[in-house]
Structures are given as structure tokens and as C-alpha cells.
A and B are shown apart, each in its own frame.
Chain A
Amino acid sequence: MIAYFGLLSLFVALAAMIAQSIIPATTLAKNTSFKNDIFFKLMALIGFSGLSLALGLLIYAFLVSDFSIELVALHSHTAKPWIYKISGTWGNHEGSLLLLVWMMSLYGFLFSRIHPEQKVALQCHGMLTSGLLLFLIFTSNPFNTADIIVTNGLGLNPLLQDIGLALHPPLLYLGYTGFSLAFALAVSALWQKQMSANLIRALKYWVTIALAFLTIGIAMGSWWAYRELGWGGFWFWDPVENISIMPWLSGIALFHSLIALEKRGAMRQAVLLLSIIGFTLAMCGFFLVRSGVLTSVHSFASDPARGVFILSFITITTGAALTLYALRASSFASSHTYHFFSKDMGLVLQNALAIILTLTVLWGTIYPILMEIIIGKSVSVGAPYFNSLFNPLAAIALLLAAITPALRWEKDEPGFITRLWPAFAAGVLGAVILCLYYFDTVITFALPFTIIGLFLILSCFPVRKWPVTLSHVAAGLIMIGITVASFAGKEEEALMQAGKHQTLANREVIFNGAIPVFGQNYVAERGEVKVDGHSLFPERRIFPVEGQETTEAAIHSTILRDLYIVISQPVAHGQYGIHLFVKPLISLIWLGAMGMSIGLIYSLRYTRKQ
């Protein structure tokens, strides 16, 4: 029953999306009622309703452990806590694809109500949604019924049984799919050979929302990795992490280009190109984990056949959009003169940097594929490449972010720098103090990064506009958090017996033994460790259904530092390995990401008022 109605809802949604894409352009549209708002709103509503019903049914099937649906049997189990039964819906290829298409329809529905005049964009968006729906229904049907109904399923990978990883895909996908509207609007502008003020406003609106979700989605994935993987790292330049940071970088460039476009009518071509590229990168990001092109810890079961479908979809959509751009973009070129000392130039340089950063990450990510094709050997590109190139360039970009807001539009004098001296001087002073405190010396790589981070934060005051201040301060905090946590982090481990105490990483650590505990679907050994007077309970969990073990680090967080404890398996003489990590200022990263997203959403209200 669930499977029948689920699949039926998908077909209904597909029909509505195809109608939305094609009918307004055909001879049927001679009857103008197919071109007016109501038609689009109705089709978007039917599409959204159909997909909501389908997703709702699938979530329900997971929640009640309906093993007549093959997907549930393969990825769920009755003993799982209910919240992971729900999040397990998207812990697999078919379910996560359904989630993605549902979000496409959500955005389409909202778009049809908030910007109903963008009819060409609505048609384009309908085509995108139709294409993804076709892919879903015909190659990745989540409602396949099982030939044999088992009494219990295979369970969900224990690494995914965590709140961070329950929230990460939905938030990230809301970011990815949001760019589909920017894509559709750009295509519509190229198609109609003009960018109206309404279109620009619509672009700004949806890009802001998409970027806010993308920021928090990426940060949530990083936060999960930090908590769950047990060694205090939060970014590994994994191909799938890279593929999520690229649309973010181009999204930031797009967001700032839109500011220039609104205020000065400049950067039209950049806005169009970045809108197309942003969604393309987002689609590559979503699909690269499931096509067998790149393998990483993130990969779903790879299937080259699906990879071919996906590549075809991206080729057709982006190929068509870029062809349109190639043919028509020159009519959007602006005869804008850029004076060197101007906010305009600052934004141009920032765009250039964002693109260079994106290309740096892209090159590092596809280099292994390239080498495998050319020399037949598999190589891997790791953190050293990315860190040595990306970090300095990112620092320069953030330096620009401190300077550009102080510049005037169109033309400013070199003397503008005097406005920034106080902030810069205070930044240097603060950075010196910070470095002396954490490193006992100023001769450290952390110094330039902390200077720039503090300078960025201080340059936002006095406050000109709150959303900008919030977002830029947040960026500065993230930079300082990453720098200090990475460079000044300490760790130490020792074998300890119950009742013993030891000094690890300059902290007093007391181990009070380990006891067995039972979770709903796991058995664990839980240790009690006291660090600096705080009681922490690290665990090693065993999940019998999936046959896997996970480490649950115990973390005590304050803004100033995280205390991070991992307990090992017991070794001889009742000893356990106790590993302490001290991560100073790491919370600034998560707080900064939240601040940036809030600043972005806040800016929507702000522009509305104007």
C-alpha cells in the first residue's frame, strides 16, 4: 500500500512538473490561462504535494519498520531509536535523492508564490525538477517492494546514528537545491536577453537563503566529523568535503557580485555565470558521492550505471545553460570603469580570489582522476596540498573582506586606509597577545592568520549595517578558531588503571574505571574520566545488528576550549588507553558558522525594509 501510493505520488508530481515546464511554451498556451500565475502556482503545488506525500510515506515506512519496502529492509532495524529511523530515511541513495527532489519542489512551490512573475524561470526550474524526478523514478525508486519480507532489517551504519548526521544532509541539501533557483533565473535572463530589477531582487533573495543553509549544512558535517570520528579533526579535504566547499565559495562570490549589481549595475556577466556554475557544482557535489567516480568515507554504494545517468543530466542542463551564456552573455557586458581604490574593485578582486580558491580545490579533487587516466596509477592528494595553497589565499580573501567595506563605491582615495588604521593596529596587538598566550612566541604561522582574523572583526566597528557586521565578524571568528585549534591544540595519551590519576597535556586527569551500559540498539563500555574537575563519560559502542563499533568521544565545551576524551579497548591488567585532546577556541568555528547564516538571513529582512 505504502509503496503503491508512494510511487503514484511521484508520478503525479512528475506530470505536474512536466506540465509546468512545457505547456506554457507550447501551442496550448495560446489560451493564456496556461501562462498566468494560477497555472504555475497550481502545478508547483501539485508537484510539492505529491513529493511531500511520497517522502512522508517513506519516512512513515521507516518509522514503523515496514520491511515490505526493500529500502527499509536494507537500511533499518526495529531496535533503532525512532529519531534514527527517521533520519535513516535519507541515509541511503534512494531516500536521500527523494529528499533532494522534495526540496526542489519545496523551493519551486515557494518560488511560484513569492516571485510569480518569473515565468520563464519557473519553467526552467520545472525542467530541472522533472529531470531529477525521472532519474529517481526510473533508476532509484525508493518504493521497490521486497521479494522476501524479512522479520528484521540490516540496520543503519552506526556512524550515521548521530544527531549531527541526522541534520547534516537536510541542511546541506537545502543549500544545494536553493541554487537551482539562481540557475533558473540566470537562464531566464539569458533567454529573455534582459535582467529586470525584479529578477535581480529575486536572485539576491534565493541566493541568500541557499547560502545560509549551505553554510550551516557544511558546518554541521564538520561538527559531526569532529565529534564522531574520535581524533578531534574537523576537516580532512576529503573529496566530498571539497565538493561541498566549492559551491559555497562560488556562492559567496555570487552573493557579493549581486551587491555590486544592485548598487552599481556592474558584474552582470559574473552573476549569470556564477549562478550557472553554483548549481552545477552543487549537483556535482550531490552526485559525486554515489556514482563511483570518487570514493571516500562518504560514498554510497557506487554504481557506474547511475554515474552515467547523473553525468548526462548535468551535461544536458549545464551544457545548455553555458551554451546560452556563450551566445548571449556579451549583450550583458557593462561599460563599467573600475577605479583601483573603490568598493567596486574590492569586489572584483574578491571574486577573482573566490574563483581561484574554487579552482584550487577543484584541481586537487580531480587530479587523482586525471592521473589515473593518464598514467594509470592511483595517486591521492591530501591535506598538505590543500593547506599550503588554500589557507594563504583564504587569508588574503578575508583581508580584502576587512578592507572593502571601508571603501566608497565608484571612487575613493588612497587615504581611505587611515580609516582602518585603528582596527589594524588593535588587530596586530590582539594577535600578538593571543600568540604569546597560546604559543609562548610570536614567531609562528598562526600570527598572520590571527592578525587578519582580528582585523576583520574590528574593522566591522563602528557598525554600518548589522547583517554585514554579523557575517564578517563570524568569518573572523571562524578564522581565529581554525588557526588556534589547529596550531595550539595539545594531546596526550596514557594507559591508566581505575582509580589512578595522571597529568596529561598539563591537565589533571583522574580515571574512575569503566562499566558496561546498554543503549537501545548497542552495548557500550563507558569510562568515567575527570579532567580539571569536569566529569566526562567516553564510550566504545558495539552495535550487534550492523556488527560495527564506534567511539563516542566525551567533550566538555566552553568558548575558550574543548576538552576531548577518547577511551580505548581494555588492555592487560585492567588498563585503558585514555587519550586527551585540548582544542582551544574550536567552538568559535561552529558559533561563527551559525553567526554567518544568521547574518545572511537577517540581510533578507534588511533589504526588504529598504
Chain B
Amino acid sequence: MKLTFLPLTLFAVLVALLGFHIFSHKQMADNFEVRQAPVQIAPKGEYALINFFASWCISCKAEHEILLKLKADHTLALYGVAWKDTKEALEKWRAQNQNPYHDITMDMNGKTAIAYGITGVPESFLIDREGNIIYHHAGPLTEDVVKKELLPRLK
């Protein structure tokens, strides 16, 4: 083989490497089946709590116990929306933490975040049976907030 074919060969190897890398990331992502969070997240007819969180968010860890408790008490359905996160990190988060959510979606394009007007995580929205937002809490949920603001609003 002529020496002039060397650059092409090296390039082919490099491309194969990068291509394999990108595709293997895609595979990992596909296994998790993360969907884009729609603006209408919870189905109508029941109370729901929409919780914007992220795998990297430290304050979210503070409210994780409370979310698990809400799920265990069957108080209301929790819908998690991962914000400014990645599929890999979310997968890792799911493997390492108990899942308090009825469903997890991810706001990949930022549109849902704009629609809800969130400026950080965690933020939670209480939705009534007609799909209206009846309470919004910015920051991690506390026992106090659940007792005084969330539960009284559930009728």
C-alpha cells in the first residue's frame, strides 16, 4: 500500500472510534426510554404533584425522603421532570436511589421549564383534578410545607 493511503487509514480508524462511541451512548440512552416532558404532564381527574428535579441537584436530596413518603402514603401521584440533566446521569440516579415518581420525563429542550416558569431545581407544582396549578413551591419540600400547604388543598 502506498504511503499516501496512510492518512486515510488513520482517519478511518478515528472515525470508527468516534462513531462507535456515539452509537454506544445512543444505545445506553435508548434502553432507558426517557421521553420529553410534555407541558400537560399529569392526566386530568386526579391530584398530582409535578416535581422538577435533577440528578446533580443537591437540595433535591433533602426532599427525596419526603417524596418517598408521599408515594408510600398514596397521598397523591408524583411526576418527576428532570431539568438540565443527561440520560446517563439520570440512569445512574435511578440505579442508586429509590424512585418516588409515578413517571419520570426529562425536559430535554427546555420548553416545559419555560412553560412552568421555573428558575431552578427543585420546584414543585400541585395540580388539581381539572389540571390547574393550585400551589407552587420553589426549593425542597419540607414536612411543614406538606402539612400546611399541600395536604389541606387535597379535597
Contact = CB atoms under 8 A, between A and B. Distances in A.
B24 A330 contact: no
Contact of A147 (B2, B12, B111): B111
B18 A325 contact: no
Contacts of B110: 74, 154
A300 to B, nearest CB: 12
Nearest to A304: B26
B96 interface: no
Given A322-B7, A322-B11, A293 B21 contact: yes
B76 to A, nearest CB: 26
Interface residues of B, number: 31
Interface stretch (B97-105, B114-122, B126-134): B114-122
Nearest to B21: A369
Contact of B114 (A73, A311, A318): A73
A315 B15 contact: yes
B95 interface: no
A370 B24 CA distance: 13
A150 B116 CA distance: 10
A366 B10 CA distance: 13
A311 B22 contact: yes
**Residue picked from A304, A307, A325, A372, most chain B C-beta under 10 Å:** A304
Contact of A304 (B8, B29, B120): B29
27 contacts: A74-B110, A146-B114, A147-B39, A147-B111, A147-B115, A148-B111, A153-B114, A154-B110, A293-B21, A301-B108, A304-B25, A304-B26, A305-B26, A307-B22, A308-B22, A308-B26, A314-B15, A319-B11, A319-B15, A322-B7, A322-B8, A325-B4, A326-B7, A369-B17, A373-B17, A373-B20, A373-B21
Contact of B8 (A292, A305, A323): A323
B86 interface: yes
A511 to B, nearest CB: 31
B14 interface: yes
B114 A74 contact: yes
Nearest to B118: A154
**Residue picked from B2, B17, B86, B114, most chain A C-beta under 10 Å:** B114
Looking at chain B's contact residues, is the secondary structure mostly helix, strand, loop, or mixed?
helix
A260 to B, nearest CB: 19
Interface range on chain A (Cβ under 8 Å from partner): 35 or more
- Nearest 10 pairs between A and B by C-beta? A322-B8, A329-B4, A326-B5, A307-B22, A547-B120, A304-B26, A326-B8, A326-B4, A74-B110, A315-B15
B11 A311 contact: no
A372 B12 CA distance: 19
A330 B120 contact: no
Contacts of A327: 4
A305 B113 CA distance: 22
Interface of B: 2, 4-5, 7-8, 11-12, 14-15, 17-26, 29, 39, 86, 108, 110-111, 113-115, 117, 119-120
A148 B117 CA distance: 11
B3 to A, nearest CB: 8
A317 B24 CA distance: 24
Contacts of B7: 273, 276-277, 322, 325-326
A547 B119 contact: yes
A311 B18 contact: yes
Given A73-B114, A147-B111, A329-B4, A366 B14 contact: yes
A304 B86 CA distance: 11
**Residue picked from B29, B119, B120, most chain A C-beta under 10 Å:** B119
A601 interface: no
Contact of A70 (B5, B19, B111): B111
Given A319-B11, A369-B17, 17 more contacts: A150-B114, A150-B117, A292-B22, A293-B21, A308-B26, A311-B18, A322-B11, A325-B7, A326-B2, A326-B5, A327-B4, A330-B4, A369-B21, A370-B17, A373-B20, A373-B24, A545-B119
Contacts of B23: 308
Contacts of A291: 22
A374 to B, nearest CB: 10
